[in-house]
Amino acid sequence: MSLVTRAVAKFDVGQLYMTRGVAEGIDEDDVFKALVRHLDGDWGDVDEHDRQANDDAVLFGGRLLSAYVDRSNTRFWIITEADRSATTILLPSED
């Protein structure tokens, strides 16, 4: 018997992009898990101000920024644009 969980995104992501730095340097399982968290409104390693800004942006519009750390302790971001046209996964150095 298997258990199937269906994730429901709290917002549209638009087109999904990943920078070369993430594609070459972050394990794809870590990227996938972080993206699922982002879509669920778990903003990762951001301060309380950014967490509240993201929560407000889900309700009223605005850019969303999540920050995560992969298994080798490399920090990466997931940013969804305010108009929900695109979501980009990138390293902070690629901003």
Residues 39-83 pLDDT 10s: 999 999 999 999 999 999 999 999 999 999 999 999 999 999 999
How far apart (Å, rounded) are the C-alpha atoms in residues 47 and 93? 19
Q: What's the whole-model pTM score?
A: 0.89
CA-closest candidate to residue 9, choices 37, 39, 52, 44: 39
pLDDT in tens, 30-39: 999 999 999 9
How far apart (Å, rounded) are the C-alpha atoms in residues 57 and 63? 6
